[in-house]
């Protein structure tokens, strides 16, 4: 589906790569920029938190020969075409209905695939990069970045593994020797965290008696005979196969004893993705840790650092990203504390919290997703945060169970935002919007009604 755009791109001189400020957006841009570099083409990458009219103004001011939009653009096809920009749109968000046609529009939804589950922005970008490659296997190594992007968008969570077109991409990456996959414990920090910290910070599944309790995690490991460390703390990757098996069964036994549902405990094990060309014990070796490292850069206005890491900088940019990561972790912990203190308000079909100015608008969506550990999973959660201007940022997160019952947050948020003079969009399970601050109550009523109708409540 991408041969023609590939030919068009090869003939352009002044290329602008426009992408989104999250892990999927960074990996999307890195895939395309690497493919352009390998094809000997000049490009300039720029990043936006969302593609709106001011962003399009800025893009038009560059006067580019061609703009390649990655991980955004499908919701703004009409506006892109109205500006007569020569554009290739490579996205996986729900396309807005429009008769307008850019030079090319590559999006899984256009071929009946689910962009929330089966293909990420970076996966879609990978398909274009493959078409751009000089040889048949030229850009196959970039599949590893596509896996990082898909994992960053939590596309492996619904089934405990990547599915759909993502799976084909994973197989291409595996064949190219760039990525390996296998079943393992699905807690965050397998490469870099001491095992007791990995348990302490476990959120999905939340482990009663362990999550959030450092002393209990240390005591638990001692009790089952797992040595915590010698000269340095032992990480998951330092344990023997026997120790790993022992720890997993002990967690399951403890979980069952504490009344944790078997279905939740099943989420403890799933497929994990290892980037084979990266050094063991670093964030970059594991797709999930890599994606968090990237979020820690782009969501704080340092997208160029994340992009440099994706494109191979293991020196200055990588150290800077690691520094940003520790700050990001602290911000997430503080964000969750704030939600616990302020509480979550339940409406008929949704629940929400308002972080005001206390959580940055670019990470409030991550905090909203993490808040499910203390919220009711039977309704989606909305989070509000003040933006730099006068507007309110809204982030909404659902669960796969709710999606199966009919939830479509992209639909609910985009229609409700539009009705109060804002913009919104995204995926069925995760969506966002920006609305005028005085419209908050009206917006909540509209989303509550829309979600109620979707879920047949």
Residue 341 C-beta: closest distance to ligand C5P, Å: 22
Binds 50: which of Zn ion, ligand C5P, none (CB < 5-8 Å by kind)? ligand C5P
Cis ω on the peptide bond leading into residue 205 (within 30° of 0)?
A: yes
Q: How many angstroms separate the CA atoms of 269 and 252, rounded? A: 10
Residue 425 C-beta: closest distance to ligand C5P, Å: 3
User: Taking a C-beta distance cutoff of 8 angstroms, is the pair 192, 280 a contact?
Assistant: no
Q: Under rule CB under 6 A, how many of the chain's residues touch ligand C5P? A: 16
Return the residue nearest Zn ion (CB atom). Answer: 24
Residue 257 C-beta: closest distance to ligand C5P, Å: 36
Tokens at 57, concatenated: 């103004």
Binds 121: which of ligand C5P, Zn ion, none (CB < 5-8 Å by kind)? Zn ion
Regarding 156 and contact with Zn ion (CB under 5 A), the answer is no
Angle between helices 143-152 and 23-38 (to 10 degrees): 160
Comparing CA positions, the residue from 308, 385, 401, 306 lying closest to residue 20 is 306
Pick the binder of ligand C5P from 66, 403, 433, 447 (CB under 6 A). 433
Nearer to Zn ion, 154 or 321 (CB): 154
Regarding 121 and contact with Zn ion (CB under 5 A), the answer is yes
Pick the binder of ligand C5P from 64, 173, 365, 398 (CB under 6 A). 365
| CA 430 to chain CA mean position, Å | 10
Q: Footprint of ligand C5P on residues 217-236 (CB under 6 A)?
A: none
Q: How many angstroms separate the CA atoms of 91 and 71, rounded? A: 4
Helices (H) and strands (E) in the chain, counts: 18, 13
Regarding 307 and contact with ligand C5P (CB under 6 A), the answer is no
Q: How many angstroms separate the CA atoms of 152 and 286, rounded? A: 11
β-strands 430-436, 391-397 pairing: antiparallel
Residue 394 C-beta: closest distance to ligand C5P, Å: 7
Regarding 194 and contact with ligand C5P (CB under 6 A), the answer is no
Comparing CA positions, the residue from 61, 99, 46 lying closest to residue 77 is 99
Q: Footprint of Zn ion on residues 415-434 (CB under 5 A)?
A: none
- Per CB under 5 A, residues contacting Zn ion are 24, 71, 121, 153
- Per CB under 6 A, residues contacting ligand C5P are 20, 50, 75, 93, 365, 395, 423-427, 430-434
């Amino acid at each position: 589906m991408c041969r023609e755009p590939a030919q068009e791109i090869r003939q352009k001189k002044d290329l602008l790569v426009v992408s989104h400020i999250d892990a999927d957006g960074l990996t999307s841009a890195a895939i395309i920029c690497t493919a352009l570099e390998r094809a000997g083409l000049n490009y300039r990458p720029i990043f936006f938190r969302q593609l709106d009219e001011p962003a399009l103004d800025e893009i038009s001011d560059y006067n580019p020969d061609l703009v390649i939009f990655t991980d955004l653009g499908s919701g703004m096809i009409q506006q892109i075409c109205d500006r007569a920009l020569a554009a290739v749109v490579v996205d996986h968000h729900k396309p807005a209905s429009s008769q307008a046609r850019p030079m090319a529009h590559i999006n899984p939804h256009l071929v009946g695939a689910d962009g929330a589950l089966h293909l990420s922005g970076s996966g879609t970008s990978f398909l274009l990069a493959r078409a751009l490659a000089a040889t048949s296997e030229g850009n196959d190594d970039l599949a590893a970045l596509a896996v990082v992007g898909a994992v960053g968008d939590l596309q492996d969570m619904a089934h405990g593994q990547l599915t759909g077109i993502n799976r084909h991409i994973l197989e291409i990456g595996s064949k190219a020797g760039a990525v390996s996959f296998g079943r393992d414990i699905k807690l965050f920090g397998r490469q870099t965290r001491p095992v007791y910290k990995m348990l302490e910070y476990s959120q999905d599944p939340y482990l009663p008696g362990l999550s959030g309790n450092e002393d209990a995690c240390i005591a638990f490991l001692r009790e089952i005979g797992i040595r915590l460390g010698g000269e340095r703390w032992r990480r998951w990757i330092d344990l023997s196969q026997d120790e790993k098996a022992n720890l997993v069964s002990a967690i399951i036994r403890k979980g069952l004893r504490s009344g944790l549902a078997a279905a939740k405990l099943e989420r403890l094990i799933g497929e994990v993705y290892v980037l084979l060309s990266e050094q063991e014990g670093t964030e970059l070796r594991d797709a999930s840790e890599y994606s968090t490292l990237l979020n820690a850069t782009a969501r704080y206005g340092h997208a160029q650092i994340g992009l440099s890491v994706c494109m191979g900088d293991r020196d200055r940019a990588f150290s800077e990203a690691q520094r940003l990561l520790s700050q990001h972790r602290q911000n997430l912990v503080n964000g969750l504390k704030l939600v616990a203190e302020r509480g979550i308000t339940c409406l008929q079909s949704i629940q929400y919290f308002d972080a005001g100015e206390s959580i940055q608008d670019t990470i409030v969506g991550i905090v909203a997703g993490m808040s499910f550990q203390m919220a009711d999973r039977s309704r989606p959660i909305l989070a509000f945060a003040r933006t730099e201007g006068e507007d309110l940022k809204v982030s909404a997160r659902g669960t796969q169970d709710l999606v199966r019952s009919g939830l479509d947050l992209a639909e609910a948020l985009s229609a409700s935002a539009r009705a109060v003079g804002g913009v919104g969009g995204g995926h069925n399970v995760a969506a966002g919007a920006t609305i005028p601050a005085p419209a908050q109550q009206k917006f909540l009523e509209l989303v509550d009604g829309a979600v109620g109708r979707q879920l047949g409540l």
